[in-house]
Amino acid sequence: MKHKYLKLTLMLCTALCLGLTSCGAIENDINKESNVNKESNVNKENDSLKIEQEEIAVRPLGIYTGEYSEQEWSQTDNKMLAGVIYPIFGLEKTCAIDYPNLAKALSDLSEQKKSDAMEEYEDMILTAQDELLYNLEYFNGLTTENTVTVRRSDTNVTSLLFHYYSYQGGAHGNYGYGSANYNSQTGQQIKLEDVISNTNKLSDLVEKHLYEVYDTEAFYENIDLKTYFLEEKNQITWTLDYNGITFYFNPYEIAPYAAGTFIITLTYDEYPDLFEGKYIEVPKNYAIEISDNTIYHYDLNGDGDAEQLSIWKRADENYECNQICINIDEQIIEDDLSAFDMDVVLVHLADDKNYLYVESTSENDYKILTVYDLSKGIAVKIDSVAGGFYTSVLDEEKYVTVKLIITNPEEFLLDTYTDLLSTVHGHKIYSVGKNGLPVSEDELYVFDSEYIFTLLQSLEVEVVNEESGKITGKKIIDAGTRVVYWRTDNESVADLKLPDGTIGRIILDSGEWPRTINNVPIEEIFDNLLFAG
């Protein structure tokens, strides 16, 4: 079987309709002509200073992430020869316009990850074909996997953590972490010595925290981190996070394979003199993706000390994520999800409130977002709402998607299934409300894709001004006209884009099935309607 893979480029990804949230650009209504003569020079200077301070404030940036996978099978033996997964990522569209250097750096890195993975994949296929000839019974396929988590994404720093796994035969595979850290303004990679003012002190602090957090018997005898940080500094895996710098030690680096990986964080609060000042400036509000089975350290209750946070999922015979387990300093909360997959985001607000946003995905890609309050140092479930993080499809046939994980709690996209006129995904702009749940000022869900229906009979619609949202009149649309289903409140209102560019609004009676418009079933009015279930 000839193997295939998508030729996805980051130019394609960047061109997606992801420019729906602001990149933090502040529009200031200043120097209006009517006010010029009313303001004193002092007031003008104060306003200019205030504006300048607002403009230089550190703000979150949006980054989309996803992955591409491919497998090569032997049809003769019905065995997988090789499998590959590599990450897709890039700067959200409006942010890419404002930060072109970073956009290019991320694009180049994503393409490099793809190139490296596909080169390894080609080699694995050849190796697997040879191995299959003499080891048919026990051969289970070769794999290489690499995924990405955004550890920090703001106008100062962008920090990516890569999770890799590779099985090339033998007793076990190999796994671990990699990282890339960028100056968001210049797009240049940040070196460890750019961040840490005293690298000589660094190894002692790292060793101190390793022995505090982990069992000392796990390490190699007499580990020499001073030499390690001196000789291997370009190979060290680290990310610059919102709360500090985190170091990741892979199998074999400071302990045997069986001991696993080791992760420790040196926080800005605990060691303020260790860091260069500009890198510890972070947004007041931010959100960060949390990987399962990984230990993190955050001050969740605002007492100045970091709590140990870890999250994992339990599976059963039906679901990969039957339960989520949230562990804060050995206080474990378990909650049922009954889902096939989950994504988790830690949301931090300026008032030291911390929430966990857990997206669980079940049958038909139906998403539920469950919110937990972490602010008292223990996970307390608030509620669940329909919907999840904004997702865009790159390739319908292979269902390759990218997701815009929340980075800015003040403005983010969520999407959900709507089923008023058909079952389709719609999205709104949200922010974190006072009770921790997402709230939106938008009344209507908007669709990315074009859902085109044909009128089976004439239909009267209300004409809506797109900018003001006000009704400006009515018109009759003839039978046979093709209209685009554009947005809905998912209760009774559906807006259609008409061939002449105007917006036509219809009101449905959705109380009973079948749904009707003026007592006429919608299946008698529209062709190509599609409902799930």
In this prediction, residue 172 carries a pLDDT of 82
Q: Are residues 363 and 496 in the same domain?
A: no
Q: Both 503 and 481 in a single domain?
A: yes
Same domain, 423 and 296: yes
Q: What residues form DSSP beta bridges with 144?
A: 84, 166
What three-state secondary structure class fits 124?
A: helix
> What pLDDT, on a 0 to 100 scale, did the predictor assign at position 212?
85
Residues 346, 455 share a domain: no
Residue 1: the pLDDT is 38
Q: Which of 7, 42, 58 lies at the terminal end of a domain, its last residue?
A: 58
Q: Is the dihedral of CA 176, 234, 309, 350 positive or negative?
A: negative
Q: What is the pLDDT of residue 154?
A: 97
- Tell me if 208 is assigned to some domain: no
pLDDT of residue 234: 67
Structure-model confidence comparison of residues 479 and 228, the more confident one: 479
Considering the domain architecture, whether residues 505 and 392 belong to the same structural domain is answered as no
Average pLDDT over every residue of 311-327: 91
What's the mean per-residue pLDDT of the chain? 86
Residue type, 99: Y
pLDDT score recorded for residue 278? 86
- Decide if 36 is inside a domain: yes
Whether residue 433 sits in one domain with residue 518 = no
Check whether residue 302 and residue 402 sit in a common domain: yes
pLDDT digit string (tens) for 326-354?
999 999 999 998 899 999 999 999 999 99
Could you tell me if 24 and 155 are in contact, meaning their C-beta atoms sit under 8 angstroms apart?
A: yes
Q: Which of 442, 463, 493 is the last residue of a domain?
A: 442
Which domain range does residue 45 map to? 31-58
Q: Report yes or no on 168 lying in a domain.
A: no
Q: Provide the domain count of the chain.
A: 3
Q: Does residue 453 fall inside a structural domain?
A: yes
Question: Nearest CA to 439 among 508, 372, 381, 387?
Answer: 387
**At CA 240, angle to CA 302 and CA 194, rounded to 5?**
125
CATH of the domain at 462: 2.30.30
Task: Using the predicted structure, report yes or no on whether residue 294 has a pLDDT greater than 70.
Answer: yes
Please answer whether residues 435 and 446 qualify as being in contact, where contact means their C-beta atoms are separated by less than 8 angstroms: no
Is the domain of 391 the same as that of 510?
no
In a domain, 12, yes or no: no
Q: Does residue 181 lie within any of the structural domains?
A: no
* Predicted confidence (pLDDT) per residue in 211-257, tens digit: 888 877 778 877 777 777 776 666 889 999 999 999 999 998 888 88
Of 413, 442, 471, the residue that ends a domain is: 442
Same domain, 437 and 310: yes
Diameter over CA atoms, the chain: 89
Same domain, 388 and 455: no
Looking at 36-45, 293-302, 459-468, 520-529, which range is the least confident one? 36-45
What confidence score (pLDDT) does residue 55 get? 52
Cα dihedral 203, 187, 65, 22, rounded to 10, equals: 120
* 293 and 438 together in one domain: yes
Is 132 within a domain?
no
Please give the structure tokens belonging to residue 452.
């085109």
Residues 317 and 430 reside in one and the same domain: yes
Which string of b and e fits 300-325 if b means at least 16 CB within 10 Å?
Answer: bbeeeebbebbbebeeeeebebebbe
275 within domain boundaries: no
